[in-house]
Structure 1
C-alpha cells in the first residue's frame, strides 16, 4: 500500500529531516495506537532551474496531487523497480483569453490552440533520445490506448549540464528538428506540440527525471526562471470557461507553476539553429 501525503510548507522552508508518525485504531479497539518511523534526511539537491518549454500563452499547467490517476500517483515497474517518472510532470494546454482550448469543433485535434506550437529547449543541452513517426488521430474521439512503453508518443529527451533529463512528450509526427547527440541552445525550437501517444488532446507533457527513459527514471523537481501567473482553475472540469483570476497576478521567478494555474511566458524569439 502507498499513502500519499501532500503538505503545503512555507517557501524555502529550512527543513532537513522529516519523521512520520501514524495513528491508527483496530476494529473493536478503544485506544488509538501510534507508529513512528525513523527520521528521513531530505535531499539537498536544488531543483533544475529552466527556461520555459513554450512561449506566449495563456498556458494551463495541468497537474494535481490528489488525482487518483494523476502524474504523481502512477507507478511504472521497469527492470524490477517501481518509479514515478511524472512525479513533478506538467501537461501544458494552450487557452485563449476566455479559457477556451479550441477554436470551433473541439473534437478536431487541429482546432486546439496549442496544436503545432513551437516546443523550446529549456537549457543548453545535449539531445539524449528521440522517437518520431507515431501517428496521431485527426479527432480526439478517435484516440486509442497504447502500451505503456508507447504512452509518450513522439518525444525528445535532453540531457542537461546537471546530468538530469528533460522529457518532451506527445510531439507532432515528423516535427522533431534535432537528432541524438546534437547540442541545443536554450530557447531553440526542437519540435512542435502534438497529439501522439496516450493523450487526451493536443498538449505538451513535460517532466524532469534522473535517467534517459520515459518510464524508467524517477521524476525530479524543477523550477521555471520567469513567467506571469494569470490565475487558476479550482476545478479542472471547468477548463474551457474563464479561469479564476488571481488578485495578486504578477511576474513569478524561479518557481514551479502550481496546480492548474494559468500562466504566460515571454514572447521572445528562439535563437537560430547552428548549422
Structure 2
C-alpha cells in the first residue's frame, strides 16, 4: 500500500463488518480517476463471506444477472452512517430518488454516461452523488459521504456534529451500481473542483488467520474483511 502524502486520521463511518472494493489501499486513484475529489475515496459494502464470490445481495447469482435485485435484498442498504469526525455540516442534499432495484446492464450504461458525459458546469451533481453530506473537518479538509438513502439524512447545514453521531443511512442514489457508502476527504466544499486527500481510519479490526486483529491508523485493501464498533 502506497500513500503519497501523510493521511488524515478519521473514525470509520460505519458499524459492523464491511468490505471496500474500491480503496486507496489497493490502488491510487482508487476509482480510476481524480475527478470529483475521488483520488483517495473508499467504497464500502457488506457481503456474505460464506458464499462464493462474496455477493452483496441475498438473491441468487442468476437472478441478480437476469432480473437484478431489490434494494432491501442488499445487506448494507439502510445501515446507519456515522460522522467520521467533529465538524460542521456545510452541505446536506437529500430528495434524490433511488432506483427501486439494481440491474447490471442499466447501471453500467448509467455509469458510462456519467463518466464520459457529465458536465459540472451544467449538470446537477446529484445525478452522480445522489443524496450526500459534506462535513467541514478543518481548514481545507472536508469529508463527503455519498449515495445515501433517500429521506435518511438527519443533519442540516450549519449543524455541528460530533464524531460518531448518526447522520444518515447507506443508499443507492446517484451513480451507484449497488447500495454502498462512498466516502472521501477533499480540499474543497465543491466536489466538482476538489482534490482528494488521503485518509486512514483511527481504529478497526481485520479478520486474519481465523481471528480478529486490531488495526490503528490503517488503510484497508480490497480483500480485507474489516469491522468496527462490535
Shorter chain as denominator, the TM-score bin is: 0.7 to 0.9
Q: Tell me how far 1:252 sits from its aligned partner.
A: 0.4
Q: Tell me how far 1:130 sits from its aligned partner.
A: 1.4
Aligned residues: 204
Counterpart position of 1:264: 227
More helix, by proportion: 2
Between 147-156 and 164-173, report the one with greater CA deviation: 147-156
Matched, 1:127 2:82: no
| Pair 1:246–1:219, CA change in 2 (3 A) | farther
| Residues 147-199 of structure 1: per-residue CA shift (max 9 Å, x gap) | 53321111000000354000111001110000011000111010010000000
User: Is the 1:95–1:102 Cα contact (8 Å) retained in structure 2?
Assistant: yes
Runs of 4+ in structure 1 displaced over 6 angstroms? 65-68
Matched, 1:206 2:169: no
Matched, 1:228 2:188: no
Q: Tell me how far 1:56 sits from its aligned partner.
A: 1.0
What TM-score, normalized to structure 1?
0.67
Counterpart position of 1:29: none
What's the RMSD between the two structures over aligned residues? Answer: 2.6
Bigger CA radius of gyration: 1
Distance (whole Å) between structure 1 residues aligned to residue 189 and residue 55 of structure 2: 35
Higher RCO (CA 8 Å, separation ≥ 6 residues) = 2
Q: Secondary structure at the match of 2:72?
A: helix
Q: Tell me how far 1:261 sits from its aligned partner.
A: 2.1
> Which of the residues 25, 33, 40 maps onto 1:88?
40
User: Is the 1:63–1:260 Cα contact (8 Å) retained in structure 2?
Assistant: no
User: Is the 1:64–1:260 Cα contact (8 Å) retained in structure 2?
Assistant: no
| Pair 1:214–1:260, CA change in 2 (3 A) | farther
Q: Tell me how far 1:64 sits from its aligned partner.
A: 5.6
| Residues 90-119 of structure 1: per-residue CA shift (max 9 Å, x gap) | 100012342342223651121100000000
User: Is the 2:23–2:220 Cα contact (8 Å) retained in structure 1?
Assistant: no
User: Is the 2:90–2:157 Cα contact (8 Å) retained in structure 1?
Assistant: yes
| Pair 1:246–1:205, CA change in 2 (3 A) | farther
> Which of the residues 91, 101, 104 maps onto 2:59?
104
Structure 2 unpaired stretches of 5+: 119-124
Distance (whole Å) between structure 2 residues aligned to residue 186 and residue 139 of structure 1: 32
Structure 1 unpaired stretches of 5+: 1-7, 12-41, 77-83, 231-244, 268-275
Counterpart position of 1:53: 13
